Amino acid sequence: MTLLEMMSLPAQARLSTLSREITALTERLAPASEAAVLRSLDAMQTAGMTMPQGIEPKKILAVYHYALSGVPGCGLTAATQKLIRGDYAANANVLLGTIPKPPVLAALAKAEALSMRAELARKRETIAALKPRDTGRSEASRARVRARLEAFRRTHAAAKAAAQNVSALATREIHHAA
């Protein structure tokens, strides 16, 4: 839904729509599961990409899953698609035709998820701006503040008067002694 369409909706409908969109984005930004990592590696191998050297074949899935833990699944999917299409040709860390090493794939997936994280943050800020702020204080709270303010004013006035009396008395004594 576009911003213009959303702004024409009543406030409650806008909040509801934004809440649904936030839920969908949050689900897409959930960490990649082991199955998602396996699908990604399988898709790249099916596309003819080779595994990187230096990783034992028995440990490949465990190593990639560890490197990609906490990485959003949507970022992994987008990075996988771009790798297969060759969209990272300008990236010096990516060798075309080879599945990137685990830390490189994790960095690519995180970078792909940044725009979605930014969109989620914008939607949360919009919801915060649309919700009415609770500025009303209870009458009891207001009465307590008024009572404390009045007590402070009385104490301050008494201290000021006492200071003036001491000052006037000291001035008289100085003039009388001279």
Co-location of 124 and 161 in the same domain: no
- Where is pLDDT greater, at 30 or 128? 30
Residue type, 128: A
Mean pLDDT of 76-93: 93
Same domain, 171 and 94: no
**Same-domain check for residues 172 and 108:** no
What's the domain count of the chain? 2
Distance of alpha carbon 138 from its chain centroid, rounded?
32
Residues 81 and 26 in one domain: yes
Cα-only R_g, the chain = 33
78 and 151 housed in the same domain: no
The C-alpha atoms of residue 97 and residue 45 are separated, in whole angstroms, by 9
Residues 142 and 104 in one domain: no
Domain span at 153: 137-178
Whether 144 and 103 map to the same domain: the answer is no
The 10s digit of each residue's pLDDT in 154-174 is 999 988 888 787 666 666 666
- Give the model's pLDDT for residue 70: 93
Tell me which amino acid residue 14 is.
R
